[in-house]
A and B are shown apart, each in its own frame.
Chain A
């Protein structure tokens, strides 16, 4: 039975995804920075059907701690098979515009720390010649917009990195899945007004599990975001510059 390592396990989207995996009996290794909620989620997932649930605390920005965490996860699961990277922060765009330090910190959390993890995970899975790496990027990475281009450019880096990694690892039998949710009603977006384009974490989680099972390349979640983002990417800069998007 294949196990899954979830990094950022207290995220609402990650938790909803882990429930689906637990209910079908997958072993899980959960990593997050808030120990209290992490323990509560681990207990819940064990009751929902996961036969083995391990967990540990990690701040993803602590790059030096990545290797030890991956070792422990690998040992607990008996080899890394599926890895889901789910953490992130919705940067305060206005505040970033006035602060170099904050901008770099946001890029570190949402992009550089992910790259650091991926570099190590990729080599471990390539060595085994099997497995799936799934990462939650975002539709926001498809084109920079004034409202959130610090966050968006971090996600763009992740998406581009994954695209290259997918090519490299495909000949090693490792799938790389880029997950691009649209608007999801989670604590990250608690302050935003919701409308019809918003999805629940449960719906996005169902799409994530499907994408992982099918070893999809890029999954827009829900799927209606694919044509929308296609159109948005096609708008010429001359016009895009003036849009209130």
Chain B
């Protein structure tokens, strides 16, 4: 056991943690000192504090990185929980298989993808990651090992998928991959002038395309509110590999000030929208550049400077979703705080397996903000009110500040979930959102 200062992707909180490590799926759960707690840690790609446990310990799982089995006919893959999605793709794509669901970065572990029950651009077709996991093994601090699935120990399965690492350590999982004709996608980019156009486009797009996602110009207001670009794509067979992914670049150190500010944003957003001369463009893209454009720039989070940044991702359910989305965008545009990455997508109605899974049918909006302290918190309060009034909720994987009451109203199942928490496990996030409840 050693200790080290650890932060999450948003770099807002940095704290000393005792570190334990699992080196294989056969290892025992480490003994933490009485009174202390431990939290499984994947690749640290969660933005806020759900992967941190200040004052306690982290259980590193990245060394659980072995493939176990792969059936080339059925596509069922078994692997240890610290394997990165990037490693699975490197292995599977050449044999004609692909992950059923991928988030916006491939540098997450299988355990992390499960513990947040992540979603991708195909949520309207495939639902969440957890839907494609047949079985997993949960290692508890008592030493007990439990293989869980929807048939065996279903309650444990539903608590652990989306369970934020609190039910114990996932040691391995079985994932059902899906066939693809090759590494390329046919991608169409469509410009929309406002939110109404966006929602009109969604119906067609979701029907015809497996993947859909939109980028919004957060600074546009009035009649242009919600203008942006929609990308929609399908896997295709392609003779060439599409555009090769190219070399990975890296941000070598934390910039002394945030390079993401009002001035750079306005230029970026206007150019990004305008440079698309035509209302529609079509092309072939490699899966890396379509799914993981930000992975090309390692440590891009350092661009936000030493104070770090927040992401705000909500889902707004039901018929009120479009109106609430407009209200959120108005509030952000009015604040002038902007957002470099504003991503909008409509979730489908496939149920998420986890008790605390984030996705549900509705509109999801994700916004990034450099950490401006109290200014920003004031804006977040206003956004919270809109989300709360719409019966929506925020995504724990992205969160480092939501009020406990908003979490508890958004996730009423949290009380059913609580008994499954491992007595040795806790996290900054969990202590924060359950405090005083």
The chain A residues found within 8 Å of chain B, CB to CB, are 12, 36-37, 40-41, 43-44, 47-48, 187, 190-194
The verdict on A36 contacting B26 (CB below 8 Å), with A48-B91, A190-B21, A193-B2 known, is: yes
Q: In the complex, given contacts A40-B25, A43-B66, what are 4 additional A-B residue pairs having Cβ atoms less than 8 angstroms apart?
A: A12-B63, A48-B91, A187-B21, A190-B2
The answer to whether A194 touches B26, judged by C-beta atoms less than 8 angstroms apart, is: no
A44 and B68 in contact (CB under 8 A), knowing A190-B1, A192-B2, A194-B2? yes
30 A–B contact pairs at CB < 8 A? A12-B23, A36-B26, A37-B24, A37-B26, A40-B24, A40-B26, A40-B66, A40-B68, A41-B66, A43-B66, A43-B67, A43-B68, A43-B69, A44-B66, A44-B67, A44-B68, A47-B70, A47-B91, A48-B67, A48-B91, A187-B21, A187-B23, A190-B1, A190-B2, A190-B21, A191-B1, A192-B2, A193-B3, A194-B2, A194-B4
A47 to B88, CA, bound (A): 11
Residues of chain A within 8 A of B26, CB atoms compared: 36-37, 40
Which residues of B come within 8 Å of A, CB atoms? 1-4, 21, 23-26, 63, 66-70, 91
The residue of chain A having its C-beta at the shortest distance from the C-beta of B77 within the complex is A47
Give, as a whole number of angstroms, the nearest-CB distance from B82 to chain A: 12
The residue of chain B having its C-beta at the shortest distance from the C-beta of A187 within the complex is B23
Q: What residue of chain B has the Cβ atom nearest to residue A43's Cβ?
A: B68
Which 8 A-B pairs give the minimum distances between C-beta atoms?
A44-B66, A47-B67, A44-B67, A37-B24, A193-B2, A36-B26, A187-B23, A40-B66
- CB-CB < 8 A to A192: which residues of B? 2
A44 to B67, CA, bound (A): 5
A190, B60: Cα distance in complex, Å: 12
The closest CB in chain B to the CB of A194 belongs to B2
A227 to B21, CA, bound (A): 32
In whole angstroms, how far apart are the Cα atoms of A193 and B21 in the complex? 14
Q: Chain B's nearest CB lies how many Å from the CB of A27? A: 18
A1 to B23, CA, bound (A): 31
Min CB distance B314 to A, Å, is: 38
Q: How far is the CB of B411 from chain A (nearest CB, A)?
A: 37
Complex Cα gap A150–B91 (Å): 43
- Distance in angstroms from A45 CB to nearest chain B CB is 9
| A204–B374 CA distance with the chains assembled, in angstroms | 46
Q: Which residues of chain B come closer than 8 Å to A12, judged between CB atoms?
A: 23, 63
A37 to B26, CA, bound (A): 8
Distance in angstroms between the alpha carbons of A48 and B3 in the assembled complex: 33
Minimum distance in angstroms from B25 CB to a CB of chain A: 7
Complex: how many Å from CA A16 to CA B66?
Answer: 11
Contact of B2 among A37, A44, A191 (CB under 8 A): A191
B3 and chain A: residue at smallest CB distance:
A193
Q: Which residues of A contact B66 (CB under 8 A)?
A: 40-41, 43-44
* Complex CA distance for A131 and B154, rounded to whole angstroms: 54
Among A36, A47, A193, A194: residue with most chain B CB under 10 A: A47
Question: Which residue on chain B has the smallest CB distance to residue A193?
Answer: B2
Name A41's closest neighbour in chain B (CB-CB).
B66
Measured in the bound complex, the distance between the Cα atoms of B20 and A191 in whole Å is: 10
Q: Considering the chains assembled together, what is the distance between the CA atoms of A41 and B69 in angstroms? A: 12
CB distance from A180 to the nearest CB of B (A): 24
Q: In the complex, A40→B171 CA distance in Å?
A: 13
Q: Which of B26, B66, B70 has the most CB of A within 10 A?
A: B66
Instruction: For the complex, give the distance between the alpha carbons of A190 and B3 in Å.
Output: 11
Nearest residue (CB) in B for A192 is B2
Cα A191 to Cα B3 in complex, Å, equals 10
Report the minimal beta-carbon distance from B298 to chain A, rounded to whole angstroms.
15
Q: Within the complex, what minimum Cβ distance (angstroms) separates B59 from chain A?
A: 13
Chain A hits for B2, CB < 8 A: 190-194
A50 to chain B, nearest CB (A): 12
- A41: chain B residues within 8 A (beta carbon): 66
Across-interface contacts of B23 in A (CB, < 8 A): 12, 187
A40 vs B70: C-alpha distance when bound (angstroms): 13
Query: Which residues of chain B are within 8 angstroms of A193 by Cβ–Cβ distance?
Result: 2-3
In the complex, A48→B63 CA distance in Å?
16
Quote the shortest CB–CB distance from A54 to chain B (angstroms).
18
Residues of A within 8 A of B69 (CB): 43
A43 contact set on B, CB distance < 8 A: 66-69
Give the CA-CA distance A41 to B68 in the complex, in Å. Answer: 9
Nearest Cβ on chain A to B323's Cβ, whole angstroms: 50
